[in-house]
Amino acid sequence: MQKAPSIMSRLMQDLSITRIQAAGILGNIGHECAGFLLMQEQSPRGGRGGWGWCQWTGARRREFEQFAANKGIADLASDEANYGFLLYELKGPESAALQALRKANTIESATTVFELKFERAGIQAMGRRIDLANIALREYERAYDA
């Protein structure tokens, strides 16, 4: 989760959200891709499985791949591709998730709202997501409040 502080900072600026809300996003991302280590879903239940920070699956995975291709980004594991598509979704087809997230004012609620409205995971593992959100917030505060 070493990337968490800088990604949180960018999310706060680009989406006008709080550090708590950004940490909720990072807690989910940390769970989905094992702290930015696994971009391909392990043992998918069907199809090609999830890919990227948010483990985009099905139509969303195809949209992610097309988004990267349209931007001339060859490396789907890159921060540029993943961050760009995350912003695209939150400002576009998944904007309802962003609106719901903006109402959250605790780590628990921000993490839960992002999972329910954006990730919509088959296995929620909410406790792990919340733990990772707290870690992301601590790392952010260590990096920017020191």
What pLDDT is stored for residue 45 in this prediction?
Answer: 78
What pLDDT is stored for residue 133 in this prediction?
Answer: 98
Q: Which residues pair with 51 in a beta bridge?
A: 40, 56
Indicate the pTM of the whole model: 0.95
Q: Domain containing 71 — which CATH number?
A: 1.10.530.10
What pLDDT is stored for residue 124 in this prediction?
Answer: 92
State the Cα–Cα distance between residues 74 and 132, nearest whole angstrom. 29
pLDDT band at 145 (very low <50, low <70, confident <90, very high): confident
Contact 30, 131 (CB under 8 A): no
pLDDT tens per residue, range 78-135: 999 999 999 999 999 999 999 999 999 999 999 999 999 999 998 899 999 999 999 9
pLDDT tens per residue, range 67-77: 999 999 999 99
Region at 123 (left for phi over 0; alpha for psi -120 to 50; beta for the rest): beta
pLDDT tens per residue, range 1-44: 689 999 999 999 999 999 999 999 999 999 999 989 888 888 77
pLDDT band at 47 (very low <50, low <70, confident <90, very high): confident
What pLDDT is stored for residue 43 in this prediction?
Answer: 78
Number of folded domains that form the chain: 1
Residue 34: burial class (beta carbons within 10 Å; 0-12, 13-18, 19+): exposed
* 3 state DSSP class of 40: strand
Domain limits at 40?
4-144
Please provide residue 105's backbone torsions phi and psi, each rounded to the nearest 5 degrees: -130, 10
Contact 1, 30 (CB under 8 A): yes
